Structure 1
């Protein structure tokens, strides 16, 4: 317990002094975000930027051909993918696709934890995206969008990165799964909010990262938090049975779920599986 407290103390002190090393966005994500904010950019210029990164190019093709966009005709080029996705959505989707690049480490224990953390993020995100896909189909006038939800879901647990980076610097003391887990539970939301601010994300994203695990924050209207929390419920992140029951009833009332057992139906599970292929 003393080691856990020591790591916690170091992290808090560095946060207070603005000395905590926060992860940077992958270069290709920065280029895409900057281009998307340029009023002079067009689809061809954006395609050229994305085509420079093979992994991102493949990711864009998967998104363009995914169940989320619901198109039967497959696209085969980056330009076709960007055209189908659209410039408005490309900023969030490209950032989301590039995020896996920051979940890396040379320390075996830390690398293992990062890999598990990213896998869990994908699991939760896939459920959240599936629910949002169905919600948008039924509520066509909603101001909420799939591209924002996708990015929000993929960054909701981004606070684990600085914690694990700090642990890696002192691997002989802190690179222990028990200590890391406790530090992540206590600090990841606060640190994650700082990461999104550094990356220049909107307050909307910061609020999701900071509050997704704080169940005292319960939006009255349908919110991105609801979809991410539904994914967390599905993957048993929230352990309290009565809490899960209350949340599920709330999501039925908000028309996010048709009924409390909907996430166990074959049709929903098939959709989640299809969406998950975007990230594999």
Structure 2
């Protein structure tokens, strides 16, 4: 039995038996998400929740003072940082910081792979956020939201984590770059969908992580998946040139891109740098 098939059987069997160890969001991230969904939550109460976690507090201050928020006056308190960022975006920033902390391993090879996976996720998410920000400026009546897109982009590849964790437990069999790449391509979407369900995210997120790289799924109108795919095109995750051109033309038609060459422009580079400064 090949290593790839062995891992497939291990993963699928664990999923069927509800025995696959799915990473859980840290408690502080869960508290922030629950609080943000409370219609009666106050900025002060949210600040108190965040202040109980030193790493999250520092991260929120960094984001509030980043280029993404374009303010020259620096904030020095969590309360002011929360006010600047806003309750809805705070939820996703806390989730992003929690997810980043999951990409760690005691195995040197797996740790490197996890860090590369997280950096790739941030790269794609930054492009998606930059394009969504521009899109919403021109389409103020759109039902799409930056908050939903941010979370979707940050979890679109989350299924790599259980695969890498399983590989860590069998380094002599699975710690092989070529094999891991194939295993991730083959299995990560299904596992990502299981994780979104375990985290009690809406079904829309489960569908997105299952189909973001399935190009047989082509939304007619502008959709969150389009912005994530635009990030995949920009970072050549979709390597076929005809596929890249087809997607870019469709994004021009949908109003996601002003023109075919927009992502090569200085304007986009500036927007991308601001988006990435949040991470």
The count of corresponding residues between Structure 1 and Structure 2 is: 279
Is residue 2:246 matched to residue 1:246?
yes
Give the stretch that moved more between structures: 103-112 or 49-58: 49-58
Structure 2 equivalent of residue 137 of structure 1: 137
- Matched residues in 1 for 2:257 and 2:267: separation? 13
Deviation at 1:190, TM superposition (A): 0.6
Task: Check the 8 A contact 1:93/1:147 in 2, yes or no.
Answer: no
Deviations 1:65-120 (A, max 9, x none): 44444445443321112112222332223212321011111111111110000010
Structure 1 equivalent of residue 33 of structure 2: 33
| TM-score normalised according to structure 1 size | 0.94
Structure 2 equivalent of residue 11 of structure 1: 11
Structure 2 equivalent of residue 191 of structure 1: 191
Structure 2 equivalent of residue 118 of structure 1: 118
Structure 1 equivalent of residue 82 of structure 2: 82
Structure 2 equivalent of residue 168 of structure 1: 168
Structure 1 equivalent of residue 217 of structure 2: 217
Task: Check the 8 A contact 2:123/2:235 in 1, yes or no.
Answer: yes
| TM-score normalised according to structure 2 size | 0.94
Q: Compared with structure 1, are the counterparts of its residues 21 and 97 closer, same or farther at alpha carbon in structure 2 (3 Å cutoff)?
A: same
Deviations 1:33-89 (A, max 9, x none): 122233443111110111222332233233334444444544332111211222233
Superposition RMSD in Å: 1.6
Residues 254-273 of structure 1 aligned to structure 2 (within 5 Å): 254-273=254-273
